[in-house]
C-alpha cells in the first residue's frame, strides 16, 4: 500500500521524489541514501574532499508515518564522524587515520538503536581532527564549518561543531548526534543557540565510537527545540535515565533557591518519566577510602579548596597539616593514586 504522498511515474515505474541538498556550510564528510523507504540502512553515496561540496539526500517526511510505537519514523539525523556506520570509514577528520583503517563492518550500538527505531541517517559530520580541540584557523585537512549563527566566519567551537552547525543551517534536519568530553556538547549548544542533552557517564555504550578519554566521554544529541526531545530520549536511553538528588552539598540556606532546585527536579522527573534517587555525597566520599576520608568531612574539603592556595595562605597551612597521604593530596583527594601505588608495590 502506497503512503498518501506525491509520486512520479516514469518508464512504467512509480518513483518517490527525493530532494538533494548541497552542504553549503561545509559541515559534512560523508552522505548517505536509503535503498528505499522500507530499507533504512544507510548507504554511502559521497565522500567529501577539500574543495568539493557534499550533497545529502532528503526523503520527504510525508512517506513516513509516525506513531506511538515509532516516534522516530522518518526523522532525519546527522552523526559526528566518530561513530561507526557499517559500509563506511570513520575518519576522525584526519587523512592518515582514514587511510590506515578499513571500512566499518557494523554500526555502533547507539546508531543501530536509532536505525531500529526507523530514524534516517543522512550524513556524517566533521569533528575536529582526532577529536582534539581546533579553532577555525587551525583546521588544515578538512575545513571548519561556516557558522550560520555568525557571519559565516565565527567559530562554531568544539569537536562536535559540525553536527551543531549542520542542525542550525538546515531546517530539513531534525537531530544531530555528537559527544561530550570536555565541553563538545555543552559549549556548542550555547555558542550555536540550540538545545542539547549530556547524560551521565555509562548511560550509553561507547562501543563503536572512537573515544577521546573514556572516563569522561559521553554521547549527546542536539535539537533546535525541546518538543521532540522525549522521542529520541526514549529510543536512545530506554529506562536507563534516572534523576539523582545529591544531599549535603547543594545550598539550602536560601528558601527561594531550594525551591527552584526542587522545582527543577520535579520537572526532570516528569520529563524523563522517572523518580529521583537521593544520594549522600558524604557517604560516597567516605566509601572511597574510609581510613582516609573519615578524618576530613567532604564539606570541609570543598570549603578549603575554594580558598586561595597561594603559598603561605591559611588553606595551604591547613592542607599541609592534615594527615592525608602525599599521593592523595597530589591526585586531588580521591585516594586512587595511593591505592594503585600500593597495589603495584605489593605486586613487585
Please indicate, yes or no, if residue 107 is contained in any of the structural domains.
yes
What is the spatial distance between Cα 271 and Cα 52, in angstroms, rounded to a whole number?
A: 42
What is the spatial distance between Cα 192 and Cα 147, in angstroms, rounded to a whole number?
A: 8
Please indicate, yes or no, if residue 342 is contained in any of the structural domains.
no
The pTM (predicted TM-score) of the whole model is 0.71
Q: Which candidate, 245, 248, 250, places its Cα nearest to that of 282?
A: 248
pLDDT at residue number 56: 87
* pLDDT tens, the chain, 348 aa long: 677 888 889 888 888 888 889 998 888 988 998 876 667 678 887 666 655 788 888 888 888 888 888 889 989 999 999 999 999 999 998 889 989 999 999 999 999 999 999 999 999 998 888 887 777 777 888 888 887 877 777 777 666 667 888 998 999 999 999 998 888 888 888 888 888 888 888 888 899 999 888 888 999 999 998 888 888 888 888 777 666 666 655 656 778 888 888 888 888 888 777 788 888 777 777 777 766 665 666 667 766 665 433 333 333 333 333 333 333 323 333 333 333 333 333 443
Whether residue 53 sits in one domain with residue 122: yes
pLDDT at residue number 296: 66
Whether residue 262 sits in one domain with residue 235: no
Whether residue 277 sits in one domain with residue 151: no
| Secondary structure of the chain in HEC code, one letter for each residue | CCCCCCCEEECCEEECCCEEEECCCCCEEEEEECCECCECCCEEEEECCCCCCCEEEECCHHHCCCCCCCCCCCCEEEEECCECCCCCCCCCCCHHHHHHCCCCCCCCHHHHHHHHCCCEEEEEECCCHHHCCCCHHHCCCCCCCCCCCCCCCCCCCCCCHHHHHHHHHCCCCCEEEEEECCCCCHHHHHHHCCEEECCCCCCCCCCCECCCCCCCCEEEEEECCCCCHHHHHHHHHCCCCCEEEEECCCCCCCHHHHHHHHHHHHHHHHHHCCCEEEEEHHHHHHHHCHHHHCCCCHHHHHHHHHCCCCCCCHHHHHHHHCCCCHHHHHCCCCCHHHHHHHHHHHHC
pLDDT at residue number 135: 76
Structural domain tally of the chain?
A: 2
Whether residue 215 sits in one domain with residue 70: yes
Whether residue 123 sits in one domain with residue 74: yes
**How far from 24 is each of 75, 148, 166, 181, 260, CA to CA, in Å?**
21, 10, 10, 28, 43
CA quadruple 182, 186, 190, 192: dihedral positive or negative? positive
Please indicate, yes or no, if residue 328 is contained in any of the structural domains.
no
Q: Which domain holds residue 64?
A: 8-243
Whether residue 267 sits in one domain with residue 231: no
Q: What is the CATH number of the domain that holds 201?
A: 3.90.1300.10
What is the spatial distance between Cα 66 and Cα 174, in angstroms, rounded to a whole number?
A: 14
pLDDT at residue number 302: 66
Q: What letters, b where the CB count within 10 A reaches 16 and e where it falls short, cover 186-223?
A: ebbbebbebebbbbeeeebebebbbebeeeebbbbbbb
Whether residue 170 sits in one domain with residue 264: no
pLDDT at residue number 238: 78
Whether residue 179 sits in one domain with residue 287: no
Whether residue 267 sits in one domain with residue 206: no
| Cell numbers representing residue 194 in the block | 540550540
Half-sphere exposure of 35 toward its Cβ, with a 13 Å CA cutoff? 5
Question: Bridge-partner residues for 13, per DSSP?
Answer: 10
* Greatest alpha-carbon span in the chain: 88
What is the spatial distance between Cα 113 and Cα 198, in angstroms, rounded to a whole number?
A: 18
Please indicate, yes or no, if residue 294 is contained in any of the structural domains.
yes
Amino acid at each position: 500500500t502506497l503512503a498518501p504522498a506525491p509520486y512520479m511515474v516514469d518508464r512504467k515505474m512509480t518513483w518517490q521524489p527525493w530532494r538533494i541538498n548541497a552542504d553549503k556550510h561545509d559541515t559534512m564528510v560523508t552522505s548517505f541514501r536509503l535503498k528505499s523507504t522500507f530499507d533504512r540502512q544507510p548507504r554511502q553515496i559521497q565522500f567529501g574532499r577539500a574543495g568539493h561540496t557534499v550533497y545529502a539526500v532528503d526523503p520527504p517526511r510525508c512517506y513516513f508515518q509516525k506513531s506511538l510505537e515509532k516516534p522516530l519514523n522518518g526523522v532525519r539525523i546527522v552523526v559526528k564522524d566518530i561513530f561507526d556506520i557499517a559500509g563506511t570509514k570513520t575518519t576522525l577528520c584526519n587523512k592518515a587515520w582514514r587511510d590506515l583503517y578499513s571500512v566499518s563492518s557494523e554500526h555502533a550500538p547507539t546508531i543501530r538503536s536509532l536505525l531500529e527505531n526507523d530514524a534516517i541517517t543522512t550524513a556524517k559530520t566533521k569533528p575536529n581532527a582526532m577529536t582534539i580541540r581546533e579553532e577555525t584557523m587551525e583546521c588544515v585537512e578538512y575545513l571548519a564549518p561556516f557558522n550560520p549563527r555568525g557571519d559565516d566566519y565565527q567559530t562554531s567551537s568544539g569537536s562536535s561543531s559540525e553536527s551543531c552547525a549542520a542542525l542550525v543551517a538546515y531546517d530539513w534536519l531534525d537531530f544531530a548526534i555528537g559527544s561530550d568530553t570536555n565541553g563538545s556538547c555543552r559549549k556548542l549548544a550555547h555558542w550555536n543557540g540550540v538545545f542539547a542533552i549530556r547524560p551521565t557517564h555509562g548511560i550509553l555504550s561507547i562501543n563503536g565510537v572512537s573515544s577521546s578519554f573514556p572516563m569522561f566521554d559521553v554521547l549527546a544529541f542536539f535539537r533546535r527545540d525541546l518538543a521532540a526531545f522525549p522521542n529520541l530520549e526514549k529510543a536512545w536511553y530506554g529506562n536507563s535515565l534516572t534523576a539523582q538528588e545529591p544531599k549535603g552539598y547543594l545550598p539550602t540556606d536560601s528558601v527561594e533557591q531550594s525551591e527552584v532546585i526542587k522545582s527543577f527536579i520535579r520537572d526532570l522527573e516528569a520529563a524523563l518519566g522517572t523518580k529521583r534517587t537521593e544520594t549522600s555525597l558524604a557517604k560516597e566520599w567516605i566509601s572511597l577510602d574510609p581510613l582516609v576520608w573519615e578524618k576530613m568531612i567532604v564539606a570541609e574539603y570543598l570549603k578549603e579548596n575554594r580558598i586561595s592556595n597561594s603559598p603561605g595562605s591559611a588553606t595551604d597551612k591547613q592542607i599541609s597539616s592534615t594527615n592525608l597521604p602525599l599521593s592523595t593530596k597530589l591526585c586531588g583527594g580521591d585516594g586512587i593514586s595511593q591505592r594503585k601505588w600500593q597495589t603495584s608495590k605489593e605486586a613487585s
